[in-house]
Structure formats: C-alpha cells, structure tokens
Amino acid sequence: MNSTGMSQTVAILWLLFFFFAFVPSLYSGQQFGNITLQSGSVLLVGSDLNATCRMGSSFPSRCSNNDLTWVLNDKVLNNYSVKRSDVKELGLMLPGPHVPKGRFLLKCKLYCTYVGSKVLHGKTIDVGYPPDIPQNLSCVLHISGDEMECHWNKGRPPFISTVFILHAARKSEVLRTCQGEEHCTLKMKGHPDIIKQLTLWVEAKNDLGTVCSENITIDPYKAVIPPAPTITNVLSDPRNSDQLTVLWNTFLFSDKDWFRDEKLDIELWYRQQGGSWIEVKDVQDNGVCSLYGLTANSAYSIRLRSRPLHSIWGHWSQWSEEFERLTSEAPPLTAPDLWRMFGRADSYGGRNITILWKPPARDKTRGLVLGYMLKWNDGVERVKNFTSERRKHTIMVHDRGAPTIVNITTWNSAGFSPKASLKLRKPQPFSGVSSFQVKSPGDLGDHVISLTWETLGQPSYHPSRFVVAWSESCDGSSADFHWLLVPGSQTHVNITDGIEPLTCYNVSLHPLYENLEGLPSSLLAYSREDVPEVPPRELKVNQSKHTASLSWIPPPISARRGLILHYKISWSSERGQKNYANTTKTSYELQNLKPSTRYMVEVSAVTRKGASRPSMYDFDTSTFDPGEVEIIIVSICFCLLFFIIFLVYVQMNLKRRFREAFWPKVPDPNHSKVLRGFDLMKVGSCSSLIFLYR
C-alpha cells in the first residue's frame, strides 16, 4: 500500500472516532436540559407537584416545547403540562390527589423529528407522611443475658425512607442504640446491665419530621424470657386407659445469680389427634402432671411453655416440641356392625346366606382389633373365629325351619366387645318408610350420593335402625356389595364407598325393627349425571296408511350416564312441520299420518342433563291399510261374477226373442199325436218280432 492510501485510511479512522466519541454527547440528556422542582423532592401526601423542564443550550433550534412531554412512572401527563412563554420551557402542575405515594421517577422526554425520542432529564420524588409516634414498646431479655430484644408498633406506613432508632439510657446517658423498622436487639454487657434499671424509647425520623415514643423504665432481669421446657417422657397406664402422665425439665437458673430464686409459671396443653387444644389448669412447677378423662387407644399431642412469675410483660417461652403418646387399650365399647346377603334357595329349601360385618368405629374399638367370633345355630351350635382382615362368611340355612340367629363379637388385647345379633328371615310385607330418594345429585361431588327418606307412623313404631346397601348392578349383574348401618332416628345419609361418577348404582334401604325386618325400598342413583353416551338402539317401524308403530331398545347401562327420564320423539314429512312427543315407554305409535308419504323419525334418550344424539329412521306410509286390497279384490270379483251372470241371462232372453221374431212357430214333435201313434206302432211290431224269435 502506498503512502497516499495509508493517509486516506488514517483520515477515515479519525473521522469515525470523532463521530462515535463526540457526536452522541451533543444529544445526551445532560446537554439537552434539566428539571427544576418548585415543590421540592419530598412531598407530603396530598400536596401538588410543580416542576419545570428547561431545554439546554445544545437543544436543536427546530424543536420547541411542543415536542416535550412529562412522564411519571411510564405514564404520560399531557393533561397537566403547562406551556411557558419561553419556548424552551414546559411546566407541570399535578394536583395532590393524582400524585402517587412512595418513591417515583419524574422524567421529561423529547419527541422531536430531528433527534428522535430522548429523555432530557429525570428526578426522583418521595411522597409520604411524617412518622407516627411509635406505640407499645416492650422488651424481653434472653436468658443468656447478652441480648435484649425490643418490639414496637410503628403506626401508619410513612411510604418514604424512615429510620427507627431504639435508645437505651441510664441517668440521662444514652448507653447504646439499635435500628429496625418494628424491632431490634440491644447488645447487653452481662450482669451489670441486667440488674440496673434502663430507660428506653424509640425515635422515628424522616425528611418530613421526627417523633419519639414515651419512655419506659425497666429492670432488665424482670423481662427475661426462659428457654422452652423439654418433655422427657409421657407414660400410659395399662390399668387406666383414660390417663397419661407427663414428665418434663425446665431451665436451671443456678448459674445466674440474678435469677437463681425465680419461680416459673407452667402452661400445659394437649389435644387428641385431629382435635382442638385443651389447657390444663393449675400446673405446678415440679416436672410432672397427670391427664385424666382421655379416650382409650387414642393418640394425644402434648406441649408446654413457661414464664417467670414476676415477668413484667408476661412473656412466655417458646413452646416445647410436641410429644405424642397413645393411651392404653380398653375392651371395644360397641359391637361390630352386622348384615346379611341372601342367596337363591335350592329345591330342598336350603339357602346360602353371606354374613357381612364391619368393625366398630375407631373411637369405639379402643384398641387394635385382633379378630371376630361368629356364632349361629342351624340345628347344631356353631362357633367360628376369624382374623381381623376377614369381613364375611357364607352359611347354609333352611327356609322351612325356625329363623336362624347369628351373633358376632370382636376383641382386642383388653377384652371382648358386646355382641351384635341378626335374625335371618325374609322381610315382612310392610316398610314404614316413604319418599326414599336421591337429594340433588352432583351437589356434594362426584364420589358422594346423598339419600333422604321419611319414616311413617308414631315415633314408637319407627325402625330402630336402617341398613343402606348399594352395588353397581343396575342391570342385574353381580358387583361389589357395600352397606352401611344408620341409626333409626336418622333420615338422611351420604354414601361414598365405591362411588364413581356417571355410574349407575342400585341402592336399597332396609328398615330394621326390634325383632323383624321391614320391606326394603330401592332406587337407581348416580353421583353425577350427563347426557347418554349413545342413542336408543334397534329402532324399528311398523307403518300403515295413517299410523306407524315405533319400538326401540334403551341404551346399555354402561352408556346411559344418568337416569332416563323419558324418550323424546320427533317426526316430520319431507315438507311438513316437525312434531314432538315424549314417552317413558320403549314404544310409541304415530297417528294421523298421510298415506304414500315419506317420514323421518328421531328418538333420543333424556336424562337430567339433557338428550342424547338421536336414532333416526326413514319410512314410507302405505297407500292402503291392511285388508283394504283384499276387500277391493273381492268386490271386483263379485261384480265380475254378477256381470257374467247378467250377460248369460241377457243372451238367453235375446235368443228366444230373436227366434220368436224371425222364425214362425213349428210344431213340437214331442207334442204331436201323429208321431206319438207312429212310435207306438213301431214299438208293437218290434215286440212281435221279439216274441216270434223266442
């Protein structure tokens, strides 16, 4: 490269350097202008905001204050801009209600064609309140004696930067301070600081003012907060299943001269698993306490805390870690629930009956169920034991004999439960129950069916209990069997076991009296319904001249997804108006149809949620009703026969008349005397010849 080329290259590089280094600075915000705040950078809430944006000396001459805009937190304030007489200035007058609280950024922006969009200048503004006087100052001294933690209420939020300083003084001499918004910790110097009185107050200050709380004077050792007690053990008594004994240790103050003789107030709480906390009154500071009236074989959580008896603010220690313990077992309080499921009888009167049972409720078993004892008498006293997992057993009984009575008990490590009895006999022909129905399907969720019913007669004749049984067997097929025992005073129940949405369940209510069983009530139920998944099947039409008989098969149980309330039928001719009808049956007859006309018919299944898609069928009505063609043919045949007979008769009459009209009368040989004599002569001569021959 020659020297001329090198010189040109260097010149270009210098020009680029000058352009990128100096030209941008000419259009920087620092050079364009600045913002002057007449109302100051710190405002009281509700004050107006007044400001002026002035263009700098380097502002392009072709741009004016018409190109300036105020922006507050990215929000343009065109409605509050004020143009000055000087074309290089733009004012701002923002009323107090529109000024936001807290810290925000006010910017002056330029939108000029010649330089584009630029921020000329920006100012940070704080809007808030003077601090409120701090209230409720209180302090606690940690047992180590090295730190004292104080808390206060700062009052209304100031919205701007505010400093809260806690001062600790003795005899007007400030010893130490700490800072925090609503709490801070003072460092203490051990024994000398703890046994001497301190005066405490909180100072709050910001750019809008300074305030101080009321002074409090305390003896620090009287504000001590001890460590949480430690529960060492909780003992259960095998002979008293309703009792627990709690043992604990508290902090020893023997190494603290300033706290050696201080007594503690103990607070002890307990709760059963899943229950509410219960406080034990008058707990002594001796490390032991007994709890009475508890539920056998139940889990209890226990916690406690302490405080000095002479605490000036009554600050409690932290809660101890919760200690859980199970009370001892007791014999089951109630009998197992007992029910049966009848099988089919054989030709000899025998019947298989499945005995079903459930353990008592958890709070009634009062221990771990170890097994069941089933007793019954079918002519021989029988006893059979089962493990705790077993829930059913099938026995054979005879319908013709006396009713068989089944008894069952359960046991745990502490003893046996009362027995439950059930008499195996067919229900009596009366119920005592009415209005058995499903209440608002779907309201309680997809896995709940809510049932209600009413009892009839006087209360003394009401059933002693009910058994609600259900299974997924609306079509008669076998399925899992569920049941629930309900008190006789109850007239509603929610069943949940095995319940799934859009599934049909056969539910029955069995009223049980003291010595017999009433007639059960049954219904079909869904936890949640929807429109049927498929339409009615096998739609058939048998049409005639003016009518058409429809028949169909309901959707399968698995696809109904709800109780079918009725079937919706619609039909119309090709150009006629559509007709509608509803029926609860699986057949329907269309009437008043036109002969020799094509019709289209649709049938839908309807549940509470709506109608399924329809099954469709097209058909043509006949020209004649059945039998009309036969009648017409027979009528025509009779007419033809009559016509033929008439023609024969007419022909015979015409022949005679023609003969009489065109031919004269000719003697009838049969009536001629001459021919008759001649015939006699012939007969006589023939007779003579026969005689001579013989």
Alpha-carbon distance 224 to 149, whole Å? 10
Residue 458 has, within 13 A of its CA and on its CB side, a CA count of 2
Alpha-carbon distance 138 to 132, whole Å? 17
The stretches of 271-313 forming alpha helices (DSSP H) are: none
Alpha-carbon distance 192 to 198, whole Å? 11
**Residue 460's pLDDT is what?**
73
Alpha-carbon distance 466 to 164, whole Å? 70
**Residue 687's pLDDT is what?**
47
The residue that leads in pLDDT, 134 or 80, is 134
Phi-psi region of 13 (alpha: psi -120 to 50; beta: other; left: phi over 0): alpha
Alpha-carbon distance 617 to 416, whole Å? 68
Alpha-carbon distance 338 to 417, whole Å? 13
Residues in the chain: 694
Alpha-carbon distance 529 to 504, whole Å? 9
Element holding 159 (H helix, E strand): none
Alpha-carbon distance 336 to 156, whole Å? 63
User: 566: which strand partners?
Assistant: 606
| Local structure of 302: helix, strand or coil | strand
The DSSP output letter for 145 is S
The stretches of 557-627 forming alpha helices (DSSP H) are: 557-560
- For residue range 90-148, what is the model confidence (pLDDT) as tens digits? 888 999 898 999 999 999 888 877 777 788 888 999 999 999 999 999 888 876 657 88
**521, pLDDT greater than 60:** yes
Give residue for tokens 């290259």: 9
Element holding 221 (H helix, E strand): none
Element holding 278 (H helix, E strand): strand 278-280
Over pLDDT 90: what percentage of the chain?
Answer: 35
- For residue range 166-203, what is the model confidence (pLDDT) as tens digits? 999 988 788 888 999 999 998 877 666 677 888 999 99
Per-position DSSP letters for 341-399, written without gaps between them: EEEEE-TTSEEEEEEEEEPPPHHHH-S---EEEEEEESSSEEEEEEETT--EEEEEEET
Q: Are residues 532 and 559 in contact, defined by beta-carbon separation less than 8 angstroms?
A: yes
224, 233, 267 from 253: Cα distances, Å = 12, 22, 19
The residue that leads in pLDDT, 231 or 117, is 231
Contacts of 155 (CB under 8 A, 6+ apart): 131, 132, 133, 134, 135
| Local structure of 10: helix, strand or coil | helix
Q: Average pLDDT, whole number, for the chain? A: 82
Nearest to 45 by CA among 209, 177, 193: 209
The residue that leads in pLDDT, 57 or 358, is 358
- For residue range 447-463, what is the model confidence (pLDDT) as tens digits? 899 999 998 877 777 88
116, 361, 419, 424, 484 from 343: Cα distances, Å = 93, 28, 25, 12, 20
- For residue range 367-380, what is the model confidence (pLDDT) as tens digits? 899 999 999 987 78
Confidence of residue 691 (pLDDT cuts 50, 70, 90): very low
| Local structure of 435: helix, strand or coil | strand
Give residue for tokens 């209890």: 300
**338, pLDDT greater than 50:** yes
Phi-psi region of 281 (alpha: psi -120 to 50; beta: other; left: phi over 0): beta
**276, pLDDT greater than 70:** yes
Confidence of residue 683 (pLDDT cuts 50, 70, 90): very low
The DSSP output letter for 241 is E
**Residue 29's pLDDT is what?**
37
Task: Please give the average per-residue pLDDT across 557-583, as a whole number.
Answer: 89
Q: How far is CA 222 from the centre of its chain?
A: 55
Among 151-165, 538-552, 632-646, 650-664, which range has the highest average pLDDT? Answer: 151-165
The residue that leads in pLDDT, 302 or 140, is 302
| Inter-residue long-range contacts of 61-67, CB under 8 Å, 24+ positions, other chains counted | 62/112, 62/114, 63/110, 63/112, 63/114, 63/115, 65/89, 65/90, 67/110, 67/111, 67/112
**Residue 652: other Cβ atoms inside 10 A:** 10
**Residue 215's pLDDT is what?**
92
- What are the two backbone dihedrals, phi and then psi, of residue 656, each rounded to the nearest 5 degrees? -65, -40
Read off the tokens for 343.
């099988």
Task: Please give the average per-residue pLDDT across 287-306, as a whole number.
Answer: 92
**Residue 443's pLDDT is what?**
73
